[in-house]
Structure 1
């Protein structure tokens, strides 16, 4: 059995386009600034490239030059390099978080002083 749909020329609430009758005036533009600063994205990309290139480069660099073909030691060195990059990322992230906290406290003190 088929059901019949009633075709209506009227638009319901979901179909209406309120762009012309928006409560926001032209001067009240929305804030479209990015949620994450560009410096944070650049740091993340840099550490991502370091996480990819550092251990692989260390492995191939040390395989024949330092360890004379011993892939076990070259692999261990690459793993150490990966851990080094990871620890460096955590340290940089913690310092960045601390600097944001210090700036927020400084602004709060300035507001109280005014």
Structure 2
């Protein structure tokens, strides 16, 4: 079994990784580091709102309807709570899909504007 010796002038994979992580002052290779959050704040707010709705709406509907509408029949109240939980879930999926489509449309608009500016010059 043979092994390869690393020559001191060669860079190892680990050295190359360290070099990629360090910010460069010349601006070549690395670029600017971003301190912006990975997820926009409006997405986090929507997620928290739907999480709150997923907890409150089914449980609240169960306790509000078990004695008032369904006269103590917990099966019907539980079924209504399950249906409302699914309604909240479908609502979240619809909002997420619409947000994703709006992001794609916005990116296409920016691309078209860049193309127009390129043609104008």
TM-score tier, shorter chain, comes to 0.7 to 0.9
TM-score (norm 2): 0.71
Q: Where in structure 2 are the equivalents of 1:19-98 lying within 5 Å?
A: 24-25=24-25, 30-98=33-101
Distance 1:23 1:33, change over 3 A: closer
Moved over 3 A (4+): 22-25
Secondary structure at the counterpart of residue 38 of structure 2: coil
Give, in angstroms, the shift of residue 24 of structure 1.
3.9
Q: Find the partner of 1:99 among 90, 94, 102.
A: 102
More helix by share: 2
In 1: Cα distance, 2:33 partner to 2:114 partner? 26
Which stretches in structure 1 are left out of the alignment for 5+ residues? Answer: 1-21
In 1: Cα distance, 2:107 partner to 2:74 partner? 49
Give, in angstroms, the shift of residue 30 of structure 1.
2.5
Two-structure CA RMSD over aligned residues (Å): 2.0
| More relative contact order, 1 or 2 (CA 8 Å, 6+ apart) | 1
Structure 2 residue 106 is matched with structure 1 residue 110: no
Secondary structure at the counterpart of residue 72 of structure 1: helix
